[in-house]
C-alpha cells in the first residue's frame, strides 16, 4: 500500500508542477501595472500584395493619415464611399522609389522602402479639381512620424492613370498586410517579425 501512496504523491506533485508551468507564461505576459501585453498578429509576410480594381465609379483620394499601434504602424488612404466597389492596389518593397510617369527617382529615408499604389486619383476625374494636396517628391502633408517604431519617411510620388503612388520609408523590411474597407485602404507594417 505504501508504494501506491508514493506513486499517487508523485503523480500529484507532477500535476501541480505542470499546472504551475502552464500558468507561468500567462503571468509573465502581464506588465507591472497588471495589464496584459498585446498579442501581435503573425503570418503577414513581406511579398507583393495586389488586387484588381472593380470600382463602379471613379475613385479619388481625400486624405492620407498614419497611426502607431502596439504591434504595427498603419497608413490609411481615405477614399469617399461614393466610389463604390473594390479598388485596385499594389503594395511591394522596392530598391528605388521612382515616380510614375517620369521614372524620376525619389529619395526615401529608412532601411527599406514600401511602395504603395492605391487605385484612386488625388483629383476628381470629372472636374480635375485636386482632392488631396500631395506634391511630387515631397513628404505627405500633415503626416508626422515622430515616435513611430517602424515608419521613418513618406514621399508622394504621383497621381497617374487613376492611381496614387506613395513611398513609405521603414526601419527595415518587415511583414505587412493590406486591408480594403468601403471608404479606405489600410496598410499595416509590423514592428518585428
pLDDT per residue as tens digits for the range 103-155:
999 999 999 999 999 999 999 888 889 999 999 999 999 999 999 999 999 99
Query: Is the confidence at residue 90, as pLDDT, over 90?
Result: yes
Residue range 51-78: average pLDDT? 90
Reading the block at residue 186, the C-alpha cell is 489600410
What pLDDT sits at residue 80?
Answer: 84
Task: Give percent above pLDDT 90 in the chain.
Answer: 62
Query: Is the confidence at residue 28, as pLDDT, over 60?
Result: no
C-alpha closest to that of 73 among 142, 157, 166, 175: 175
Reading the block at residue 72, the C-alpha cell is 504595427
Distance in angstroms (rounded) separating the CA atoms of residues 173 and 189: 9
Distance in angstroms (rounded) separating the CA atoms of residues 54 and 57: 9
What pLDDT sits at residue 131?
Answer: 95
Q: What is the value of pTM for the model shown? A: 0.78
- The model's pLDDT over 109-120, given as tens digits with 9 standing for 90+, comes to 999 999 999 999
Reported as type and span, the H/E element at residue 188 is strand 184-190
Least confident of 97-101, 124-128, 188-192: 124-128
Query: Is the confidence at residue 7, as pLDDT, over 70?
Result: no
What pLDDT sits at residue 103?
Answer: 95
Distance in angstroms (rounded) separating the CA atoms of residues 149 and 190: 9
Distance in angstroms (rounded) separating the CA atoms of residues 157 and 139: 9
What pLDDT sits at residue 38?
Answer: 66
For strand 72-78 and strand 63-68, is the pairing parallel, antiparallel, or unpaired? antiparallel
What pLDDT sits at residue 125?
Answer: 82
Average per-residue pLDDT for the chain: 82
Residue 71 CB neighbour total at 10 angstroms: 16
Query: Is the confidence at residue 190, as pLDDT, over 90?
Result: yes
For strand 184-190 and strand 49-51, is the pairing parallel, antiparallel, or unpaired? unpaired
Amino acid at each position: 500500500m505504501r508504494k501506491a501512496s508514493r506513486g499517487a504523491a508523485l503523480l500529484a506533485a507532477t500535476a501541480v508542477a505542470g499546472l504551475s508551468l502552464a500558468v507561468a507564461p500567462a503571468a509573465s505576459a502581464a506588465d507591472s501595472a497588471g495589464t496584459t501585453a498585446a498579442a501581435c498578429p503573425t503570418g503577414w509576410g513581406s511579398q507583393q500584395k495586389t488586387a484588381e480594381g472593380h470600382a463602379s465609379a471613379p475613385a479619388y483620394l481625400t486624405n492620407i493619415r498614419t497611426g502607431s499601434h502596439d504591434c504595427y504602424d498603419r497608413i490609411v488612404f481615405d477614399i469617399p464611399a461614393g466610389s463604390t466597389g473594390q479598388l485596385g492596389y499594389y503594395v511591394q518593397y522596392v530598391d528605388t522609389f521612382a515616380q510614375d510617369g517620369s521614372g524620376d527617382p525619389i529619395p526615401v529615408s529608412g532601411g527599406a522602402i514600401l511602395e504603395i499604389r492605391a487605385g484612386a486619383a488625388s483629383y476628381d476625374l470629372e472636374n480635375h479639381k485636386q482632392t488631396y494636396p500631395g506634391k511630387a517628391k515631397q513628404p505627405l502633408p500633415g503626416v508626422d512620424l515622430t515616435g513611430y517604431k517602424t515608419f521613418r519617411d513618406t514621399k508622394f510620388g504621383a497621381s497617374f492613370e487613376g492611381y496614387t503612388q506613395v513611398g513609405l520609408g521603414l526601419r527595415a523590411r518587415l511583414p505587412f498586410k493590406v486591408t480594403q474597407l468601403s471608404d479606405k485602404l489600410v496598410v499595416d507594417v509590423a514592428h518585428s517579425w
